[in-house]
Amino acid sequence: MAQRLLSPSNRSSARLAFLLTVSLSCTYLCYSILFCRSTVMTRRAYEGKKCQQNQNAAGKKLLGRADVCASLEVRTAEERGSGGQRGDAASSGSLWVDTKLRNTSVAQKYGNKKLPNALIVGVKKGGTRAVLEFIRIHPDVRALGTEPHFFDRNYDRGLDWYRGLMPRTLDGQITLEKTPSYFVTREAPRRIASMSQETKLIVVVRNPVTRAISDYTQTLSKKPDIPTFEDLAFKNRSLGLVDASWNAIRIGMYILHLENWLQYFRPSQMHFVSGERLITDPAGEMGRVQDFLGLKRIISEKHFYFNRTKGFPCLKKPESSSQPRCLGKSKGRTHVQIEREVIEQLREFYRPFNIKFYETVGQDFKWD
């Protein structure tokens, strides 16, 4: 009927309009399909994009988002690191460093300074620097490089001062510091518990005889005029009377110090690293440290190599950095020569303390 009412020219215009509408609809349909495919990305890829935008943007509103970004970056890096095979630790090459660097810079920009939730409390000359340097390559760990000595020498400065020293961290990252003298400081456990009873404590222990010699070697390098090791270690050498008041000897009576810590902390809050195994099997020891801190095992064999010149394990040099990855010269010094007999006497002295220590900790460190 309508067709009959239209003139021939009107009819052809209507046909043209109809064809145009159909072709436009088809174009739109095709475009929609293509558009959908490119915008319906995986959730992770989408969130990754959001992170990039947020990182570039400024303002306080972004603080919350930054945490999401960082944890996503860690996740995706881990996945890439394992080449898509879950369960494998971070890959070799610079991936873990990239992740760490990215997380560090995000944390520096958007993170907050927080009181530490984990501390390496000792022992002096046990291998504390090695543990700190090894654990801080983990993307979820932010560590203070220097020893703040807050719970022994600087307690009067207050918690705000202490917090101010800490590196910025994102939610979910662990803040860590190390001060080896805490382990033998009487007030330290009470003070740390009053900061937080949930603080995780790491103690790196080493054969107390070797530790004492290492301690003495360090002092001697700074003060060459001190008496001999033998003179300091004994009240009466021929009677085999050890001077337990000498700091180098006293520090190694681990059980005495540990009893003080156990008045304030549960045994499950303390983790003991073997200073000896840290040298022979750094990845194994660091695996247990990561478990203790509730971290994914990212630091593995792939991160270490044995440096023959240094005589110690070092971190593999990341591609993106020229930084040396062995510890400094003050770590791994040649010890002063001590007579065999003196070493035997000290071994005898420490034996009962060691046995009690093994029983309490539930680990045999095999120092005898």
Ligand X SMILES: Nc1ncnc2c1ncn2[C@@H]1O[C@H](COP(=O)(O)OS(=O)(=O)O)[C@@H](OP(=O)(O)O)[C@H]1O
For ligand X, the binding residues (CB under 6 A) are 124-130, 180, 214, 278-279, 312-313, 327, 331-333
Query: Which of 195, 40, 9, 213 lies closest to 125 in space, CA to CA?
Result: 213
Our CB check for ligand X shows the closer of 49 and 333 to be 333
**Shortest distance, CB of residue 66 to ligand X, whole angstroms?**
33
122: β partners: 203
Instruction: Tally the C-alpha atoms within 13 A of residue 304's C-alpha that lie toward its C-beta.
Output: 26
Our CB check for ligand X shows the closer of 102 and 303 to be 303
**Shortest distance, CB of residue 120 to ligand X, whole angstroms?**
8
Our CB check for ligand X shows the closer of 81 and 127 to be 127
In the chain, the N- to C-terminal Cα span, in Å, equals 111
On whether the CB atoms of residues 100 and 160 are closer than 8 A, the answer is: no
Identify the active-site residue in 125, 222, 223, 366: 125
Rounded Cα distance between 208 and 214, Å, is 10
Task: Give the DSSP letter string of 244-261.
Answer: TTSHHHHTT-HHHHHHHH
**Shortest distance, CB of residue 141 to ligand X, whole angstroms?**
17
Q: How far is CA 264 from CA 44, 78, 162, in A?
A: 43, 37, 21
**Shortest distance, CB of residue 334 to ligand X, whole angstroms?**
8
Our CB check for ligand X shows the closer of 296 and 310 to be 310
Rounded Cα distance between 133 and 156, Å, is 28
Annotation: binding site for 3'-phosphoadenylyl sulfate: 125-129, 206, 214, 331-335
**Shortest distance, CB of residue 259 to ligand X, whole angstroms?**
22
Three-state secondary structure readout of 201-241: EEEEECCHHHHHHHHHHHHHHHCCCCCCHHHHHEEECCCCE
**Shortest distance, CB of residue 189 to ligand X, whole angstroms?**
19
Question: Which helix (H) or strand (E) segment is 200 a member of?
Answer: strand 200-205
112: β partners: 169
Our CB check for ligand X shows the closer of 77 and 132 to be 132
Instruction: Tally the C-alpha atoms within 13 A of residue 266's C-alpha that lie toward its C-beta.
Output: 7
Annotation: binding site: 125-129, 206, 214, 331-335
Our CB check for ligand X shows the closer of 91 and 219 to be 219
Instruction: Tally the C-alpha atoms within 13 A of residue 67's C-alpha that lie toward its C-beta.
Output: 12
Determine whether 316 is an active site residue. no
Which active-site residues does the annotation give?
Answer: 125
